[in-house]
Amino acid sequence: MQSKVNTNLVSAEVAGLWSTYTVDSLGICMLKHFLNRVEDDDVSCVLEKAVNTCSEHLQVIKDKFKQDGITIPKGFTEEDVNLRAPRLFTDSFYLFYLLSMAHFGMNEYSLILSHSSRRDIRDFFSNCHSESIELFNLTVDTLEQKGIYMRAPRVEFSKEADFIDKQGVFSAGWFGKKRGLMAREITAIFASLRQNIIGGAMITGFAQVAQSEKVRDYLFRGRDIAWNKVEKLNSFFIDEKIPAPSTSDSFVTDSTFPTFSDKLMLNMTIMMFGAGIQQDGIGSANVMRHDLHSYYSSSVLETVRYEEDGLDILFKNKWFEQPPIVVEARNLVKS
C-alpha cells in the first residue's frame, strides 16, 4: 500500500533523476537531428518514439525537482545541435545508436530502481525500464526487417554433459592446450565487439565535425582505441574459427559541417566509454580463460585513462555541469 507521506528524495533518487535528465536532454539533441535527416519511414517512426519518450522523462523530472526544491539541470539544449547541418550518419547507424541507448537504459534504470525507496520514483524508473525494453525490441525488429541486425555467432556445442578440471577451465594456451570458448564467453566477446563497433562509428563522425583541435584529436584517439578493441575481440573469434559479426555499412558520411557542439560530443563520448567500462566489467565476470581476463583488465585501464583525459578537457572548458553535491555545514555557517 502506497504511503501518503511525501518524503524527500534520497541521494540515490536525486542522482538517478539528475543523470537521466542530462542523458535524455543530450539524446533529444542527437535524435532531433537524426529525424531531420532520416530517409527511411520505418526508422523515422522508431526515432520519433524515442524523442517523445525522452521529452516525457524531462517533464516528469522537472516536476519532481520543483516539488522538492532541487535545481533543474541545464543539460543540453538547442544550442548544442545544428538542425540544419547535413546528414552525418546513415539510417543504419540511427538504429544501432538506438539499440545501444536502449541497452544502456535497461542497465541504468534497473540499477537506479534498486536503490530507490519513494513509491513515485520507483514507479517512474519502472516505467523507464519498461520503455527501454520496448524500444530495444522495436529497434531489433526494425533491424531484422532491414536484414542488418548484428547477430551473435551461431556455433556447434558439445552434446554431452561433462566436468573439467581447474587447469582446463582457465587454460589459454600458456601452460597447455587452449580450450575452446564457452557459450557465455562468446556472448561476452560479442557484446563488447558490438559496443565498440557502434561507439567507434559514432566517435568517427564526431571527430569529423569537431571545431576544437584538441577535441578533434581526442576523438580520433578514441576512434583508434575503439577499432583496436574491435580488432582484438575479432581475433578471439578468428582463432576459434568462429564467424565474427560485422556490418556492411560504415555508418558515417563524409560531412565535416558543424553538427553538434564540442561539449555535447565530448560528453556523449565519455558516456559511451563509461558504458564500455560497464560492459568490460560484465565481460570479465563471465569469462574464465586467462587471455580473456587479461584483455578485459587492460581494456578497462585503457578506457579509464582515456575518460580521465576527456574529463580534463570538460573541466578546463567548463562543459561539465556540477551534479547535486552534499552541502558542507562549515560553508553554510560562513555564508
pLDDT digits (tens, 9 = 90+) for 111-166: 999 999 999 999 999 999 999 999 999 999 999 999 999 888 876 666 665 665 55
Bridge partners, residue 260, by sequence: 81
d(CA 180, CA 237): 10
pLDDT at residue number 154 = 75
Give the global pTM. 0.89
In whole angstroms, give the CA distance from residue 121 to residue 89: 35
Please provide the distance, in angstroms rounded to a whole number, between the alpha carbons at the two ends of the chain: 43
Determine whether domain 170-316 maps to CATH 1.20.1260.10: yes
The CB-side HSE value for 219 (13 A sphere, CA atoms) comes to: 25
CA dihedral 9, 10, 11, 12 (to 10 degrees): -100
Question: 224 is written with which cell numbers?
Answer: 583508434
- pLDDT tens digit string along 161-186? 566 555 555 555 445 567 788 889 99
Task: Output the pLDDT for position 3.
Answer: 47
| Cα 136 to Cα 128: distance, rounded to the nearest angstrom | 12
* Dist CA 140 CA 145 (whole Å): 9
From residue 310, alpha-carbon distances to 41, 135, 226, 245 in Å are 36, 30, 15, 30
Distance CA 288, CA 285 (A): 8
Model confidence at 2, pLDDT cuts 50, 70, 90, reads very low
- Exposure string (b/e) for 289-307, b if CB count within 10 Å is 16 or more? beebeebbeebbebbeebb
The C-alpha cell at 278 is 560497464
Per-residue pLDDT at 122: 96
Query: 52-95 pLDDT, tens per residue?
Result: 999 999 999 999 999 988 999 999 999 999 999 999 999 999 99
Count how many residues are written for the chain: 335
**pLDDT surpasses 60 at 51:** yes
**Buried-exposed string 249-280: b where 16+ CB fall within 10 A, e elsewhere:** eebbbebeeebbbbbbbbbbbbbbbebbeebb
pLDDT at 303 (0 to 100) = 96
Q: Tell me, what's the pLDDT at 243?
A: 84
| 287-313 residue pLDDT tens | 888 899 999 999 999 999 999 999 999
Task: List the single range of 20-29, 277-286, 304-313 with lowest mean pLDDT.
Answer: 277-286
Domain regions of the chain by residue span: 11-146, 170-316
Residue carrying the nine cell digits 538506438: 98
What is residue 245's predicted lDDT score, i.e. its pLDDT? Answer: 78
**Contact status, residue 134 vs residue 94, Cβ threshold 8 Å:** no
Does residue 96 have a pLDDT over 50?
yes
Q: pLDDT for 189-228, tens place per residue?
A: 999 999 999 999 999 999 999 999 999 999 999 999 999 9
Spatial CB neighbours of 273, under 8 Å, sequence gap ≥ 6: 199, 222, 303, 306, 307, 310
Q: Quick one: 11-146 is in which CATH superfamily?
A: Ferritin, core subunit, four-helix bundle (1.20.1260.10)
Beta bridge partners of residue 69, listed in sequence order: none
Quick check: helix, strand or coil at residue 124? helix
Q: Tell me, what's the pLDDT at 8? A: 84
Q: Do domains 11-146 and 170-316 have the same CATH topology?
A: yes
Between CA 282 and CA 122 the distance in angstroms is 25
**CA–CA dist 206, 215 (Å, integer):** 9
pLDDT score, position 46: 98
Mean pLDDT, the chain, rounded, equals 89
How many CB atoms are closer than 10 A to CB 43? 23
